[in-house]
Chain A
């Protein structure tokens, strides 16, 4: 029983990683007042660019750079539409998701000709698992051994980075001047403007951070969690991250917990396939799969707590002219 739990928590960490990156990405963007439906597209774009870069140059790190570059470029298109041209945030996000879904397959057909996939990555072209010191030696110690050697040790560096980004985000958003301004442009951009600070510049910087984090999420999918790019491999993770962001009420630590909960549900769903529970019978996998979405809808409906987003979210800022 304990071992099963460790295994499921281990799976939870792996599945949650892209959700954590993407949900934190959304946190920066939405706290600055920019709705980001395009998380999905940025993850997919980065997953492709990272896998392509890693396949060509044989290095996961170079792949990661390409992934981040792709994702930040997409974030800048979003910014150009939403900030500079005061376009609708949701329409722009849908546009980005659609363009990326088509473009990744078109380009990978052209470059690799493998039916929309990239070549399988191995060795340095992937982020490999890191074994903590003494993990093997501690393996047999009861409880601690299982937690240290099996749960905490043996993930790739991006998993640890994702978890580390949570306190970093907390610090940036709540303890720095940039963070204060970031939250201010999301709540009351006029006040920020009055203080002589450029609303657009802050929002663009928020989107750059959003792009970098989505880039990490995508690179994780294609060069760490899997060994290559597959068509539509983001498979709704961006939307689930968005759900986690709302479920965590736009705050870093609750967002982390929401991501872990959703990741855990995913691990449970895999585990429960074909398992009979005494008294209930077989629980359909789909019933567990939809839980994150159902929970988010219930939360939004105000049945479990209340989700109140940043006040100025989704509204373009128009500077008053004489």
Chain B
């Protein structure tokens, strides 16, 4: 069936909204099944996420991580690659940030450390994506499997490095020493308060602005460069791409490098922005959540920002919900996330074909 006859709003608005409503409906049934009122729960959730300045700050702080991982997944998706290793790439990206901060925070000022940390996050994240990318492009091993394996390898590597090398002397806690303030990303509420604007105390920091810049970068890269055209061609039809003389192996490797680098930026937000030390498991599933964000955002930066804020709101609202209704933990948000992946990813054809068919018939009639 031809796409041209289906109105654009159906594809970019109606179908995603339908999918998310379905996911919410099923989650509502789960909440009903455990004997709570879903409407009331939704009320707490929305208030917790968006009802006051501090809540909004937290929502955007979570959204920052999700924008990075969502962009990471979508850049790979555009080239027909499924990068399921965002979790590991983010973890190693955080290592890059941590090493820069730990080695320079005594001697260098912020404006030297910050750009180096950005480079560190990108290089380390990209390096972790490079091996699976190389193996996919040159040796034909499946990228999904290798990136999964690399998640586990990253996890073990980080435990080893932190426990044996980076841990603070004489402490039991598995994390590095706290950085000097010269290696802290400023909080947005600190930047706004001299202007007389109070946005509430939250971990929201400069990394959020960087995330928005990354969205612009990805948009320009994919839709307005020659390389982006090659990437999209590869994703739509690899045979045509090869026939057109595109070096598909090279495009594959670069797509994964960019994807890994973007995932690595989670480290900026978590390590440099909030925790101010290098610790275990700071990625907390953001790499996987990025898959849901990319699917819901239809692999477009604007869509990803909207989806990331929605999921950020769920993360923050979920914490608030747990506070008000102790029987509902934040794990319900994980369920919603999974349902979104199911409905807007795995079951995308369930409605799409019928709805598109309906609009095409109407257009023809």
Selected contact of B341 from candidates A95, A243, A293, CB within 8 Å: A95
A162 near B: Cβ within 8 Å?
no
The reply to whether A300 and B348 form a contact with Cβ atoms under 8 Å apart is no
A284 near B: Cβ within 8 Å?
yes
A7 near B: Cβ within 8 Å?
no
- Looking at A53-61, A86-94, A141-149, the stretch in contact with chain B turns out to be A86-94
- Residues of A that sit less than 8 Å from B by CB: 35, 37, 77, 80-82, 85-88, 90-92, 94-103, 105-107, 109-110, 113, 116, 236, 239, 242-243, 246, 284, 286-287, 289-290, 293-294, 296-297, 300-302, 307, 309
Min Cβ gap A52→B in Å is 13
B146 near A: Cβ within 8 Å?
yes
> Do most interface residues of chain B lie in helix, strand or loop, or is the interface mixed?
helix
- Looking at B52-60, B96-104, B120-128, B153-161, the stretch in contact with chain A turns out to be B153-161
CB contact under 8 A between A109 and B30, given known A99-B339, A284-B164: no
CA distance A87 to B84 in the complex (A): 17
Min Cβ gap B283→A in Å is 15
CA distance A77 to B348 in the complex (A): 14
The reply to whether B332 and A91 form a contact with Cβ atoms under 8 Å apart is no
Contacts of B288 in A (CB 8 A): 94, 98
Closest 4 CB pairs of A and B: A102-B334, A98-B338, A99-B338, A92-B346
Give the nearest-CB partner of B295 in chain A: A91
Interface residues on B, range: 35 or more
29 A-B residue pairs with CB within 8 Å? A81-B346, A87-B346, A87-B348, A91-B295, A91-B345, A92-B346, A94-B291, A94-B341, A97-B338, A101-B334, A102-B335, A103-B30, A105-B331, A106-B332, A106-B335, A109-B328, A109-B331, A110-B34, A239-B149, A239-B152, A284-B160, A284-B164, A289-B156, A293-B150, A294-B153, A297-B135, A300-B135, A302-B139, A302-B140
Contacts of A301 in B (CB 8 A): 135, 139, 141
Min Cβ gap B153→A in Å is 5
Contacts of A243 in B (CB 8 A): 145, 149
CB contact under 8 A between A105 and B329, given known A87-B346, A242-B145, A246-B145: yes
CA distance A105 to B329 in the complex (A): 8
B350 near A: Cβ within 8 Å?
yes
Give the nearest-CB partner of A97 in chain B: B338
B82 near A: Cβ within 8 Å?
yes
